[in-house]
Structure 1
Amino acid sequence: MNVSEQLIREIVEKVLLEAQGQPPFEKHVDKSGVLVVKTDTVKTEPFEQKGVSLKDIVTLEEAPRMGAGIMELDHTSFDWTLSYDEFDYVIEGNLEIEINGNVISGKKGDILYIPKGSHIHFQTPDYARFAYFVYPADWQSQK
């Protein structure tokens, strides 16, 4: 087995960051509260639905009013009812939102808005990677 020095370096850096309690992606937080996340370093984690993975990129401490993360859909679809407002920025692929029999499509660079209370069907004919921005940040506690 031939392992490159670069691969070993990446693995060691990831292990060290995780051991220090830092997120497994590149994020820089200024003392002012301004932060930047390098989205290409965010590795999503499996969600309850097959073909769906996601990763929150800010904590409630960092952004108490708004949440954000990265989601990936791979040849899948699922129903969702939003108890919060959400913007989605398509980073890669094709994201489709079906609502009331209509399909709204977004491709790389497009922004979709989904209002609170919407019952939707997230779907993709192939693959989609997108950033989501939600209000309020603690959307799980909303009804």
Structure 2
Amino acid sequence: MTIESTETATPFLVTSGAWQNLPKMPESEYPGTEGFIGDVYENPQGSVMCSGFFELRNTDAPLYYEYEYDEMKVVLEGEFLLENKETGQKIVAKAKDAIFFPKGSKIYFSTPSYALAFYAGHRDSDLL
């Protein structure tokens, strides 16, 4: 017996070059830092996730970010110096390292030169 589906399969998505020319994070919210971030996919096809790229350049000031959602990152290039002053945790995440930030994490990001990561977060697009 053959069962025919009346549903159409949802196509997957591929986007090239999305890591290039990322928008700069606002100086008013992240003073003294050079962070760049942009979603590639914002809750695509009704998903609860958003994903994109985060780039950081070396500055004297670390970039502070408080997570209002769960997020995972994969470092693609360079390295991030990560610090959570509440827990005392400090770590260097290098290329090909995977990172998980649980909701509520308060993280200071810095880099000795440059770092680029891909992220996926459990959030609505308006929380970036």
Shorter-chain TM-score: which interval?
0.7 to 0.9
After the TM superposition, list the runs of 4 or more consecutive aligned residues in structure 1 that deviate by more than 6 angstroms. none
- Measure, in 2, the Cα distance between the counterparts of 1:47 and 1:38: 22
Alpha-carbon RMSD across the aligned residues, in angstroms, is: 2.2
Structure 2 residues not aligned, in runs of 5+? 1-8
Alignment length, in residue pairs? Answer: 111
Name the residue aligned to 2:75.
Answer: 90
8 Å Cα contact 2:19-2:53 kept in structure 1: no
The structure where helix makes up a greater share of residues is: 1
The TM-score, its normalising length taken from structure 2, stands at 0.75
- Measure, in 2, the Cα distance between the counterparts of 1:90 and 1:110: 6
Q: Percent sequence identity over matched residues?
A: 27
Name the residue aligned to 1:124.
Answer: 111
SS in 1 for 2:103: coil
Structure 1 residues not aligned, in runs of 5+? 1-30
The TM-score, its normalising length taken from structure 1, stands at 0.68
Return the offset for 1:64: 2.9
- Measure, in 2, the Cα distance between the counterparts of 1:109 and 1:55: 20
Name the residue aligned to 1:45.
Answer: 23
Q: Deviations over 1:29-65 (max 9, x none)?
A: xx71411233566321111133111111013344531
Q: 1:54-69 to 2 correspondence within 5 Å?
A: 54-62=37-45, 64-69=47-52
